[in-house]
Structure 1
Amino acid sequence: TLLTNGKILVTGGYNGATLNIAELYDPSTGTWTMSSSRNYARSSHTATLLTNGKVLVTGGSASGSVTNAVECYNSSTGIWTVISNMMVTRSDHTTSILMNGKLLVSGGSVIGGTFTNTAELFDPTLVLWTTTSSMNSVRSYHTASVLANGKVLVAGGTGSSFLKTAELYDPTSGTWSFTRNMNSTRYSHTESVLVNGTVLVTGEANFATLNIAELYDPSTEIWTKIDNMNYNRYVHTASLLTNGKVIVIGGHNGTVDLNSVEVYQP
C-alpha cells in the first residue's frame, strides 16, 4: 500500500506460516525497515489507504480459518489499532474507496470454503460498518475498480463456477446491476483503470492459464479484446504508471512462478 509519505507498506502474507509482520519500503533510499507487527496474522486480506491517510486491513485467513477482524495502521505513529469487525467473515475479497470516502467491501470466500455475494460499507469518520445490497452473483478472487463516474466495476471471479459476468455498484442508490459480460471467464486476474477512463483486464485462471486481455468502456458498457500479453499468467500484479502505461509483473503460468515483466501501451 502506497502511503501519503511516499513509503510503501507491506503486511502479512504466507511463507510456510501465516504472518503478522509489516515492513516499510522507502523509495528515496531503496531500503526496507520493519514496522510494528499487526495484532493478527493473516493472508488473503486487503490493505487499503483511506482518505484520512490511515491503512485499513480487512479479513483474510490464518490456519484454515477465515476472519472478519479489522485493524488500522497509522503511518504517523507506526501503531496498529484493532477496530470493529466486519459484519461478514471473508478472504479473497475486494475493497474500493468510494468518492464519498467510504470503503466498499464485496464478495470473498467465507467459512466452509463457500463464497459470498454480500457487501458492506465502512465509514472512517464514524468508524462504523453497515450493510449495503448484495451483488447479483456470489464471487471470490474477483476484481473491483472505481470508475470516473463513481460507480464500482466488479468483474469475474469464481463462485458456483468460473465467471465472466460483471456488475456495477451505484453508491448513490446502494444497488448492484449487471453490465455486459467479459469475453472470457477469469479469476485471479487484474483490473486497471486507464487515464482515458477505460478499464484494462489482464490474465486469468479458469481451466487454463491464459494471456488474454480486454478493455471495458464504461460509456458503452462494451468489452473489447485487445492484443494478448506475451506470457500466460495469473495472480500477477498490474500497476498504472505516471506515463499512462500499465506494467504487469510476475504471477504464475500454471506450472511455475514468473519473474517476467511487460508493459501495456494504451
Structure 2
Amino acid sequence: MEWRGRRGSRNVEDRRGMGRAGAGGVGIVGMLAILAVGYFFGIDITPIVQGIDGGSQSGQSRELTQEEKESGQFVSVVLADTEEVWSRVLPEQAGVKYTDPQLVMFSGVVNSACGSAQSAMGPFYCPNDRKVYLDTDFFKIMSQKMGAGGDFAYAYVIAHEVGHHVQNLLGILGQTMKARQQTDEVTANHISVATELQADCFAGIWARQANEQFGTIQPGDIEEAINAAAAVGDDTLMTKAGRAPMPDAFTHGSSRDRMTWFKRGFDSGQLANCDTFKAAGF
C-alpha cells in the first residue's frame, strides 16, 4: 500500500505518550466496562495475547518511539482516505452526509464515552462519542501472533471500525443495539454477527473506492486484508483459545464469512450489496 508522503487526517488524537495505566488501576467496575466494550464494539483478542496486560500504573508522559511515530502517520493517512471516500460515496449511494469520526490512538487503557477499554480487547468504535479507538500495538499482535501482517491488513482494521461509524450515520447501529437488548442471547449474537460482517463489507467498499480514487493498492494488498479478516474470525479465535467453535456464540462471524463479505464489498463497491441482515434472515 502506497501511503508515505500522502495527506494525513486532522481528526486524530494521539494519547500514546500520555502515560500508561495497567489493569491494576482500572478496578472491578472498570474491568466489567472493558469486557462490555470489547463484546459490543471490539475484537476480543484476549485468547491471542493470553490475558489482560497488567502493566504499570504510571501516569508519566513519555516520548514516542520512531516506530510509534511512523505507525501514527500511517493511521492518519488511512483515516484521511476513509474521509475522502465516504464523504463522496455516502451521499451518492445513500443520500446521507458524511461527518468525519475522530480516531484516538492510545497505549494500554483508554477512557471513552462507552466506558474504559483495554488494548487486549482490540480496536473498537464508540457510537456515543463517534470515535474509533486504537492501540497501535495491535498491529504487532496481528503480525506476530495472528499471522496477519502488512500495511493493508492494518488499513482493513481501521476501515472496519470506520464502517461502524458509517452504520451509525445510517441509523443501523442504533437499531441493532436496541434489537439485541430486546431478544435472547443467541439471536442477539446473530444480530451482532450481521453487524460486524456489514462493517467488513463496508471496509471492502472503501478498499475498492480508495484504489479507484488514489491508486494506492499494490499486488498482494487485497490478499493481506482478506487474511486479516480470516484471522479475526470467531472460529479461528476460539480454536486458538483451545475451544471448539460454537456458531451460536459467534459475535463477529466466522473467518470464511468475514472474508466473503469483505470481498463482496470490494467487488461491488456498493452499499446495496452489503445487506448482511437480509442475508441472515432478519
TM-score normalised by length of structure 1: 0.27
Higher helix share: 2
Identify which of structures 1 and 2 has the higher relative contact order when contacts are C-alpha pairs closer than 8 Å and 6+ apart: 2
